[in-house]
């Protein structure tokens, strides 16, 4: 995978940009298109990777139009995309989905894959932090920007490769990991799977691809080597949980050992579960002594937009990627645990018409638990609008003291003027681009 020419369609996607960085390091020629000028694109450009935002064949130099160019794209790219149509008609030998090329990369070293409908990115980031802090040689492809690296790609060597095993479009079936962990299996991506049964069957196929060890949440009904849980007896278990102002302290039980008074600066029991998932799979790797890694948990800096907490005067501001009812519930539970009896507002941008349609009632139930609700229009991402699915219909189903449809430019005004003590900014679209974090104080 060296000395080739690659053209990335949608290079600013969080999964695409990390692969582009890897291939650039391998002395390949990289050019990419993305309509967005997001953080991932800025990271690429800073490293010297050329990105165009012009949806025109004229934006591609002639040397990148030859039939030897390897084309990489994501399922979010429609079939009528001008670049995809051109390269298909041009007879290019390799036109690959992102997941296919990640599958090739993952074969270069011992692969650790993190799967699950919730928690993949945080779990991957925790493992990456512990590996980096302890001097382990690895590469990591992370579905978010790690704060301590300001990147979604880390490279310190070739002993291990960490990848997120994305269930969307059955992408994770291109992986054959040595070690894998499944954090959760819950209905999602029903535009692809149709129902939970089909989704669950896909995870079983992923399980069959795991070479050495699979660990899953104890509640997941799938053949596994070991289980983990923060609330029931299992092979890996946390006990004596103590919620601190800016973290959690706990004891860890493994199949063979017990470790006490472990500190981490994450908050939220859903994040404690991610910590446990990370520690469980690390403990199964023979070359690593987990005891040497545990002290580094206390200085994990986190990932952008995963329970980012700020202060504004007497208000707490939470910025989070939550875009599924279960993820919103996790944010809410954290607020109720760490900020007891405080009034709470949420600004939420629904992500995908299909997800909003499939979980309309579930969204309404969890959002009704906030005192104030402000909804943005649905972020379409890869989808076209669906008749009868919009934020206004969702708003009508929500039962709370104050609710309103807003546009992105109104977010800062709401944050400044709301009387609520905790304000959550939630969604997986572009909602955070309208959030002026310079007015906040870091916590």
Q: Give the residue from 273, 299, 325 where a domain finishes.
A: 299
**The predicted structure's pLDDT at residue 55:** 93
Q: Does residue 102 fall inside a structural domain?
A: no
**The predicted structure's pLDDT at residue 78:** 86
Shared-domain flag, residues 237 and 354: no
Shared-domain flag, residues 197 and 260: yes
Q: Does residue 233 fall inside a structural domain?
A: yes
Shared-domain flag, residues 227 and 329: no
Count of structural domains, the chain: 3
Shared-domain flag, residues 343 and 244: no
Q: What is the mean pLDDT of residues 204-209?
A: 96
Say if CB 217 and CB 233 are below 8 A apart.
no
Average pLDDT, the chain: 94
Q: What is the mean pLDDT of residues 343-352?
A: 96
Shared-domain flag, residues 142 and 60: no
Q: Give the residue from 49, 69, 97 where a domain finishes.
A: 97
The answer, yes or no, to whether residue 442 has pLDDT greater than 80, is no
Q: Which two tokens stand for residue 440?
A: 């906040």
**The predicted structure's pLDDT at residue 219:** 94
CATH number at residue 88: 3.40.50.720
Q: Give the residue from 44, 71, 97 where a domain finishes.
A: 97
Q: Give the confidence band of 443 by pLDDT, cuts at 50, 70, 90.
A: low
Provide the strand spans (E) within 186-326: 213-217, 226-229, 236-244, 247-253, 258-264, 308-312, 315-320
Percent of the chain scored above 90 by pLDDT? 86
- By residue range, what is the domain housing residue 276? 107-299
Pairwise CA distance, residues 231 & 234, whole Å = 9
Q: Does residue 414 fall inside a structural domain?
A: yes
Shared-domain flag, residues 43 and 162: no
Shared-domain flag, residues 208 and 127: yes
Shared-domain flag, residues 355 and 375: yes
CATH number at residue 286: 3.40.1190.10
Q: What is the mean pLDDT of residues 136-140?
A: 98
Q: Give the confidence band of 168 by pLDDT, cuts at 50, 70, 90.
A: confident
Could you read off the pLDDT of 174-203 as tens digits, one per residue? 999 999 999 999 888 878 788 989 999 999
**The predicted structure's pLDDT at residue 187:** 83
Shared-domain flag, residues 241 and 334: no
Contacts for 388 with CB less than 8 Å, ≥ 6 apart = none
How many angstroms separate the Cα of 175 from the Cα of each of 17, 128, 155, 394?
19, 19, 20, 37
Q: What is the mean pLDDT of residues 118-134?
A: 97
Q: Which two tokens stand for residue 47?
A: 């490293």
The answer, yes or no, to whether residue 370 has pLDDT greater than 70, is yes
Could you read off the pLDDT of 144-167 as tens digits, one per residue? 999 999 999 999 999 999 999 988
Q: Give the confidence band of 92 by pLDDT, cuts at 50, 70, 90.
A: confident
**The predicted structure's pLDDT at residue 246:** 87
Percent of the chain scored above 70 by pLDDT? 100
**The predicted structure's pLDDT at residue 307:** 92
**The predicted structure's pLDDT at residue 61:** 94
Q: Does residue 38 fall inside a structural domain?
A: yes
How many angstroms separate the Cα of 237 from the Cα of each of 36, 151, 200, 231, 278?
42, 31, 24, 8, 12
Shared-domain flag, residues 249 and 347: no
Shared-domain flag, residues 260 and 392: no
**The predicted structure's pLDDT at residue 191:** 81
Shared-domain flag, residues 67 and 143: no
CATH number at residue 366: 3.90.190.20
């Amino acid at each position: 995978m060296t000395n080739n020419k690659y053209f990335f369609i949608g290079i600013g996607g969080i999964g695409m940009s990390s692969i582009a960085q890897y291939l650039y390091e391998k002395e390949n020629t990289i050019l990419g298109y993305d309509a967005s000028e997001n953080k991932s694109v800025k990271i690429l450009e800073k490293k010297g990777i050329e990105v165009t935002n012009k949806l025109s064949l004229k934006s591609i130099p002639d040397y990148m139009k030859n039939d030897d160019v390897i084309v990489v794209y994501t399922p979010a790219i429609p079939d009528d995309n001008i670049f995809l149509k051109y390269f298909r008609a041009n007879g290019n030998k390799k036109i690959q989905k992102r997941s296919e090329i990640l599958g090739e990369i993952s074969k270069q070293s011992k692969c650790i894959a993190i799967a699950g409908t919730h928690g993949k990115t945080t779990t991957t980031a925790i493992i990456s932090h512990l590996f980096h802090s302890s001097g382990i040689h690895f590469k990591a492809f992370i579905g978010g920007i790690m704060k301590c690296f300001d990147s979604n790609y880390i490279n310190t060597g070739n002993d291990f490769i960490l990848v997120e095993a994305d269930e969307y479009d059955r992408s994770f079936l291109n992986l054959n990991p040595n070690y894998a962990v499944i954090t959760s299996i819950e209905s999602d991506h029903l535009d692809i799977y149709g129902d939970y049964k089909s989704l669950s069957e896909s995870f079983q196929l992923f399980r069959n691809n795991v070479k050495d060890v699979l660990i899953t949440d104890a509640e997941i009904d799938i053949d596994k080597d070991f289980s983990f849980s923060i609330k029931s007896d299992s092979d890996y278990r946390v006990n004596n949980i103590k919620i601190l102002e800016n973290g959690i302290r706990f004891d860890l039980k493994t199949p063979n050992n017990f470790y006490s008074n472990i500190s981490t600066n994450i908050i939220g029991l859903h994040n404690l579960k991610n910590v446990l998932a990370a520690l469980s799979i690390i403990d199964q790797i023979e070359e690593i002594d987990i005891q040497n890694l545990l002290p580094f948990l206390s200085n994990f800096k986190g990932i952008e937009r995963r329970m980012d907490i700020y202060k504004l005067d007497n208000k707490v501001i939470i910025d989070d990627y939550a875009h599924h009812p279960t993820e919103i519930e996790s944010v809410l539970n954290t607020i109720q645990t760490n900020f007891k009896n405080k009034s709470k507002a949420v600004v939420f941008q629904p992500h995908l018409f299909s997800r909003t349609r499939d979980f309309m009632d579930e969204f309404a139930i969890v959002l009704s638990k906030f005192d104030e609700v402000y909804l943005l229009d649905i972020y379409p991402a890869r989808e076209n609008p669906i008749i009868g699915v919009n934020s206004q219909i969702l708003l009508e189903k929500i039962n709370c003291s104050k609710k309103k449809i807003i546009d992105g430019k109104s977010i800062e005004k709401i944050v400044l003027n709301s009387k609520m003590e905790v304000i959550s900014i939630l969604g997986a679209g572009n909602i955070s681009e309208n959030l002026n974090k310079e007015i906040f104080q870091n916590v």
